[in-house]
A and B are shown apart, each in its own frame.
Chain A
């Protein structure tokens, strides 16, 4: 493929994405909005896990936290949803920072168990604090735009996703990004080389939690409801599947994964009660036989990803 064809393809793609509400119909625009949400959540999780190597199962806790805080700000205080989203992101980042402090002391398995424990405790709290969260019923919220059209949501979602990706891209390409990768590869060596480990880890925890919370706030004002189901392990497994399928530890992989899995799931729904097990099977097989994700699979494993070494090394 020459450079020109590639450019043409990319332009075509950009045009298609930009005009989606005009040709794809309401339902696929709805899916498009969900894709934007997932792109932000998965890509930020990818920075935390794939680049900084800080395994976490709490990403969905932060997105639901953002959803709840934002919805409560809008319904209880009567503030505009946008303020709610911003506030949700701040609270999310703060709680992410706290979880980061907690995790600083832990290594390896203890670290992941703590994030899992946090996620489960948070979900239980959402279920039990009925007076604030309305328990397993979920909290009804405020729509960002009046009317039934999904088009404005789509463009706002797209804008947010692009901004989030630009931010992540800049971080990954900056010295901060290199330092994070150094921490992932060898924490002790990085520390010896003078990297202030704690500061970097807390930064990445807070940033990714804040981004997820912001996306969660947006989703809650799109769907008009936020429930504890967002914070379950099966919700987390979707984030995981998207990152793994695309290619954890690459920039483009999780984006393809998020959109691909969300669209795939819409088609798998016809399988009825078989669909989740079929989906689970795909993820298992991917992990087992192509742990680098689709990206690595198609590039002949030449690409270094989170789990898979460069072919020349392996």
Chain B
């Protein structure tokens, strides 16, 4: 019995004359859907499987289908004679385009038998000469197949051998999807054995040493697997030591390893090829000279046996030395190997004479996490679900490991600079930090950040692009956008759509014990970034919740001056050790910014109602005086008139005369960030205390935020807060926002982010949202069917993006990276949700 080894993903070409039994063979060993037969394609395009004039089109279609299948990762078998070199060349090309291995299986049967079979078929009417020519072509093919690019050639001679053959599908070397970790993925070691020992120890591995005290294995008690991304050798002080340890771990099954370009070059050198002893290879060769020749031979064998990359954890993780684009995951070809070793270069060289690497990660949109090394950067940064863990240990940086699936970084400092870098370590993107690229924000985008993941649909990004580019302030100063806020669960309290009972209940069921109720100011959201020095650009920015300049010049500048002065008076610059502050505020009164909206929409409705209902009542009064039974209708209209008066009173509360900044006040309630720091982990007591100090510093300009701190288990406190809310809203207040006392970044006991705030709006205020008569029992019953899930999900997603954006600002990440987060918040706002929520 002959075993035919075929890679799981391959393009298999059957080669044989007419009547050699190819179709029978294919049917026996492969699923019908895997087999593409030229006869079938001739029939498909020309209704006749023997129409030779259709051959060109039939093969065109066959190659196309084969290509699609291979792109999708499906094994494909081509059942055609494949006797001509040009026919086979087409198949090899299709395989190469999709980076899969072409395999040939030759079926060689005696010509007489083939002739007998051919004659037995009614639809084959060619003469024996044709068959003889095929047979000659087959003979000629033998020597050519390997040269033509077929990586495996199986030849089956005679009917018996053909019948006895078995096909065995082999996994590719790079397919280790069955390994689910957990993994510790270690960046480029470059001969830094001591640092590697320290890192492994910190990761929890226990080192095993040989008699000479040299580490030869490391075992993790919890069964974690180390993954080495390559470049174990060169430049550093002990490349053989690193090889010994890693080879030992791999042999013992405690580690897996992919090769780096330095291993590749070392192997060529060890095989005696002409390789320049540059980039630290000379050091390695000198170190290896001191080693036992058997060790050196073993190292060469080890390197030679390494797969270019690994697909791990069910396809969710890919490791390659220089990274790998999605189309190459789990593929095998020269260019896949080359990409994995060196990455893609643009063909240009930089000012240090080194090749400019194409930032493939920026275009990466795949679902699998890709972890790699190769390009040293000061700090590992996630780019589109990819991470480079090379932090330049040998250049005096750090040796870093990524814990997977935890996604935590563990690093140890280099003991010293072992090798001088040719260029300074810089983060991957080298473009100017203020420049943004359309590709950073448009199209369907997958965003992964410290607080979660998010997919932005292309149409939302398109809508946000217009707002961002036409109306928003300079992205450099657009640090954060306020997330949308969900209302509390719909109330069942009679006459109320929203009520504190539900707001408290929502947090209670999320496991929160202490909340703060903050008065909800009815004004316009204002985000203030104020800098200590006025500076040439105005010393900060004040923008709306969609990133627009608030009033525009000159008032925004005046407003910033007032805030700057108050921060100074309150002594916050020095106390917080920052030269800038990001404040989340409400600007009052509402009419200062929204005067047009109030007049156009809210007042207009009031005017129409206040004119229409008395007229209707007059007519009804007169009809009633005539003795007509209009009582029910009159009562109804009377109630409506009362409602429109209540409604008018509600919007009028938020109107106050202003002129310029005169009459305008600012109510800050959160101090989000400063220079290189965020304050999202501080509790709301801290935030409000700072707000109070600003109010004390300039009581005319700042409005305090009234608040109640409530222990949710304390019924008396809950009742008191409810009464407080009733009084607040009874006096025309908009309502309150309930927040977890622990602060903006509060998490639940299970560790997930909590809603940063839940609004609970007053009964009267809601008239300007749901209409003057929404309190009518029938209307209220209908409105109670409102659904909050979408709004809550959106609020949480935007909140998470905002936290990540603030962290990015504090960490001084490149602008494009934090802009992508802020942009995504704006894009989320294009999501269709009930605007009344």
Q: Do A and B bind each other?
A: no
Binding site for B on A (CB under 8 A): none
